[in-house]
């Protein structure tokens, strides 16, 4: 299945059914009169977040979605049937943005969230609605109200607890495959991941979700390489694991390159907690590894530099425990923020006129 994390679609809710003009004329009923029923309500456009989806590919080949119209009213005071709602099922983590691609309309972060995005039009009134003591035989009805329509953008931001960043070929996919059941493409020749991958990492009895995104290169914020379009998938992460290839000549420049692109992208990525690690240590002599770690520590401002090898598993467990510690702190902060009562608005100051 192809990965698609952004698309533009057209939505229109259903029009309401028209009211009916009818009169009761039955042989054995003493009193006749208006008997036109009301029209039915048009279908709503509903967006629902569901589990088991991780791409928006369903909206790649169909971009227009229109809910059904309500049925018209009928005689004998029969109202038209309301139309069924049109439900758009999207992955958890999907955002719905207005056509300007900036105004956020919905942010579906939990499975089962179900929001009416566009309401269907109400049905029109039949002529029986207008009867009164002074208008005993009304001969008019109203049409149904039109539905709503708009173009929207769907943007998927994967839900992950931790994110992997680094230059291409830093060993991010190998690390993800080593610590989870994910099966990203890995090989013994240089290439870059083209789409994000997710894996569930088990650490003892606890677990967290780790996201691997395509590698960044210098100028990514200006569109070089794959650009920064996939960085949105780690905006929700609580911690970043920055992998640096220990086999390259200048690890300090590699580190600064990625940090510069994170800062240029914004959205708080540069401020997230970062765990720094030299990868592929199995391919570097110990004395050279000490030198590389020193350069990297200096470039990062004195951060702790972990050493690991995703291929052999050496040094992986301490990094996972460090990630889990940051993930649990992030989850606790989110729970605290969700449980905190909203502060009432400050009263407006009064001044005599």
Kindly state whether residues 237 and 146 are assigned to the same domain.
Answer: no
Kindly state whether residues 177 and 151 are assigned to the same domain.
Answer: no
Domain contains 208: yes
- State the pairing for strand pair 94-97/104-108: antiparallel
Domain contains 343: no
Number of domains in the chain: 2
Kindly state whether residues 226 and 294 are assigned to the same domain.
Answer: yes
3-state class (DSSP) for residue 163: strand
Closest C-alpha among 144, 125, 127, 117 to residue 41: 144
Last residue of a domain, one of 125, 156, 187: 156
Per mean pLDDT, which of 66-80, 190-204, 243-257 is the most reliable? 66-80
Provide φ and ψ at 284, rounded to 5°: -125, 130
What does the pLDDT look like over 12-28, one tens digit per residue?
A: 999 999 999 999 877 77
pLDDT class for 1, splitting at 50, 70, 90? very low
Please answer whether residues 165 and 243 qualify as being in contact, where contact means their C-beta atoms are separated by less than 8 angstroms: yes
Pair of tokens at residue 353: 């006129």
Residue 189 scores a pLDDT above 50: no
236: containing domain: 162-336
Domain contains 283: yes
Domain contains 353: no
Kindly state whether residues 219 and 136 are assigned to the same domain.
Answer: no
Domain contains 266: yes
The per-residue pLDDT for 351 is: 60
Q: Find the range with the poorest average confidence among 71-75, 95-99, 272-276.
A: 272-276
pLDDT class for 254, splitting at 50, 70, 90? confident
pLDDT class for 270, splitting at 50, 70, 90? confident
Kindly state whether residues 321 and 177 are assigned to the same domain.
Answer: yes
What does the pLDDT look like over 143-172, one tens digit per residue?
A: 999 999 999 999 888 777 888 888 887 777
Closest C-alpha among 206, 198, 163 to residue 182: 198
Residue 88 or residue 30, greater confidence: 88
pLDDT class for 122, splitting at 50, 70, 90? very high
Domain contains 348: no
Residue 190 scores a pLDDT above 70: no
Kindly state whether residues 112 and 195 are assigned to the same domain.
Answer: no
CATH code of the domain in which 129 resides: 2.70.210.12
Domain contains 193: yes
Q: From CA 319, how far away is CA 340, in angstroms rounded? A: 32
What does the pLDDT look like over 294-310, one tens digit per residue?
A: 888 888 888 888 888 88
3-state class (DSSP) for residue 176: helix
Residue 96's alpha-carbon distances to 46, 109, 152, in angstroms, are 12, 12, 7
Domain contains 302: yes
CATH code of the domain in which 289 resides: 3.40.50.300
Compute the average pLDDT of residues 211-239: 69
Percent of the chain with pLDDT over 90: 26
């Amino acid at each position: 299945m192809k990965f698609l994390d952004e698309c533009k679609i057209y939505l229109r809710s259903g029009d309401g059914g028209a009211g009916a003009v009818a009169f009761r004329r039955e042989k054995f009923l003493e009193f006749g009169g208006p008997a036109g029923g009301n029209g039915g309500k048009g279908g709503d456009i509903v967006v629902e977040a569901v589990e088991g989806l991780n791409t928006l590919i369903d909206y790649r080949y169909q971009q227009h979605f229109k809910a059904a119209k309500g049925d018209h009213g009928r005689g004998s005071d029969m109202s038209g049937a309301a139309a069924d709602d049109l439900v758009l099922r999207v992955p958890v983590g999907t955002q719905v943005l207005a056509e300007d691609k900036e105004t956020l309309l919905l942010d579906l972060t939990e499975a089962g969230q179900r929001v009416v995005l566009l309401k269907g039009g109400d049905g029109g009134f039949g002529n029986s609605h207008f009867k009164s003591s002074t208008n005993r035989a009304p001969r008019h009805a109203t049409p149904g109200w039109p539905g709503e329509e708009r173009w929207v953008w769907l943007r998927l931001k994967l839900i992950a607890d931790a994110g992997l960043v680094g230059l291409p070929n830093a060993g991010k996919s190998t690390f993800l495959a080593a610590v989870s059941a994910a099966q990203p493409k890995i090989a013994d020749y240089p290439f870059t991941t083209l789409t994000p991958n997710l894996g569930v990492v088990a650490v003892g009895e606890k677990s967290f979700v780790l996201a691997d995104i395509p590698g960044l290169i210098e100028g990514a914020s200006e569109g070089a390489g794959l650009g920064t379009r996939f960085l949105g998938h780690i905006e929700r992460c609580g911690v970043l694991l920055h992998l640096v290839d220990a086999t390259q000549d200048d690890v300090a420049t590699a580190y600064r390159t990625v940090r510069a692109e994170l800062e240029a992208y914004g959205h708080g990525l540069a401020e997230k907690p970062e765990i720094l690690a030299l990868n592929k240590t199995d391919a570097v002599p110990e004395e050279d590894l000490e030198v590389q770690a020193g350069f990297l520590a200096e470039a990062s401002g004195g951060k702790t530099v972990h050493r690991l090898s995703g291929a052999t598993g050496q040094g992986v467990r301490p990094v996972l425990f460090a990630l889990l510690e940051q993930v649990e702190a992030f989850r606790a902060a989110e729970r605290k923020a969700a449980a905190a009562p909203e502060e009432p608005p400050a009263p407006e100051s009064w001044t005599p006129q």
